[in-house]
Amino acid sequence: MRIIKKRGFEENFDRNKLLTSIERAGVKNAELVLESVIKYLNGKEKVSSMDISNHVQLIMLNLVPEDIKYHEAVRNYLLWSIYKDVWGKERLYRENLSDLYRYGFKDWLDYGLKNNIFDKEKVKFYLEHIDELARYIRPERDLLLTYNSVRVLASRYLLKRIENLTFFEAPQYLFMRVAMGIAIAELNYGGDPIYWAKKFYDTLSELKFLPNSPTLFNALTISGVLSACFVIEISDCMTRLTHSGDVNCIFGIYDALLLTGILHQAGAGTGFSFTKLRPEGDVVKSTSGTASGPVSFMKLFDISTEVIKQGGRRRGAMMGILEVWHPDIEKFIQSKTGRLKDVNLQNFNISVMVPDMFMYSVVNDDDWYLINPRECQCLIESWGHEFNKCYKLCVEKVERGEISIWKRIKAKELFMKIVEAAWDSGDPGMLFKDAINIRHPLRHLGTIIATNPCAEVPLLPFESCNLGSINLSKFIINGKIDWNGLRETISIAVRFLDNVIDVNKLPQDTLIEANRRSRKIGLGVMGLAEVLTKLEIPYDSDDALYLSDKLAEWIAYNAVISSIELAKERGVFPSFKGSLWSEGKVIIDTWR
């Protein structure tokens, strides 16, 4: 039987060579695993080395319920296969891992530079510090990774050689690459990138904090897009190229489509409100025709996303939003349900944006008017009392015949259509416009009408999600929460995410301006369930709720304190004046 190797050449199957690889992973019964693999290979004339590796891993995973040590073994086996790619089998057998990591660090950096993978300008500063950083790498931290972690790193994040798609980046190189790529921002403020590269590296490699995927993909590389997601404005026009001087054509449909493709290619997701688009059947004066409506244009974005993988590694993700007063809202609500479920708009999450006024109308069983955004533009950019006034004025105009009446429907009937569609297919969700905007500390910059793909981050047009998560499970020591350690990591994470904004290489000036104007970051958590398990607290208990509340309070408080300390060091963000922050208010104050 012939084995097809990763680099393309073939060799005869060698039973002893495979047995040695399995034994090196720490498998206590390597012969058992080997015999299962040979049984699988029987009758095959050719098989790839990747296929054999995957089958070895599958056999060991199936043995984990019998002995948990097989989990460590399969993790080690996968790590070993990555190491073979990076340093070669001969060196791996001959040298210890610490030396390989240390002395291979310059080779890793040189390869990335010579093949135009790394950003030469960012790397230039570090060239005279290569030995210092190489000595700082801790190879033993690879063993903090689980099998699934290594598998995900291998499938998405570790960089590969251009010529044969084998790995040239090992896990600790990845963590150091990200740390270096983000720490370089310290030069903007007279700081020390080497000091902070080490701080960031420790926090990342100890798995206490991890940033969003594009930062892991692209830090220190020529791509350089580090944000997870963006909100892109869509105006009611095809492209601003043909609407020069038109104040209502800020960013046309095809302008947004092009930018979406570029951002998806870099690994980011996108969110849109399609509310400004005129409804299906409305007049288009420039062509004397009729409009096809928001849902038809959403299909354009869906098809484009289907053929562009995010960062070449995963499908794109999008959020499509329509406000509840738009004439096409019923078609939008049912665009992913019934016969269209699992067929239509599969790269979109969709959500209906509703004001409080609509919910009161549902409770009171009032009528609800569907109104053309072209004829009543104040509905889009207003919220709260201003929206209520705008809506009432628009209804009065409808009743006087000054603007078109598209439909009048019972609010409760429309609400039930949302509920039934969500029950059937999981879409649409609901977003509450007033709640979002009253809690927005930069409301002086405008009205938020859209979110990122998962809706946890409402954003103004062209702003981005600069996200990271603290791993709570790493702060349980001797059955107690290490509150001081958590506070230190929060401070490091806030600085890291603020640096992301400075080193982010975005493809349009509008994106750069929007993100540096508000400098928004998103600090989240992971590992809560594991924390509760370690502390022996039932997940559905009052104690779990109490602890979750205390953790959220501690994280929010210390994140604000860390932001204040950064402001003392670097100055306030450009839009500070006029914000709730400038009035001494924090987010919790907006609840009162």
Active-site positions? 452, 454, 456
How buried is residue 149: exposed, middle or buried, by Cβ count under 10 Å (0-12/13-18/19+)?
Answer: middle
Distance CA 398, CA 392 (A): 10
Phi/psi zone of residue 11: left (φ > 0), alpha (ψ -120 to 50 degrees), beta? beta
**DSSP structure class, residue 96:** -
Phi/psi zone of residue 165: left (φ > 0), alpha (ψ -120 to 50 degrees), beta? left
Distance CA 438, CA 558 (A): 23
> Among 464, 452, 457, 453, which Cα is nearest to 516's?
464
Residue the block writes with tokens 């891993």: 57
- Residue 568 in tokens: 């003392």
Ramachandran angles phi, psi of 396, nearest 5°:
-60, -40
- Return the exposure string of 207-222: e unless at least 16 CB atoms fall within 10 Å of the residue's CB, then b: bbbbbbbbbbbbbbbe
How buried is residue 591: exposed, middle or buried, by Cβ count under 10 Å (0-12/13-18/19+)?
Answer: exposed
Mapping DSSP onto H, E and C, the string for 182-209 reads HHHHHHHHCCCHHHHHHHHHHHHHCCCE
Bridge-based pairing state of the strands 309-310 and 476-477? unpaired
Ramachandran angles phi, psi of 282, nearest 5°:
-75, 155
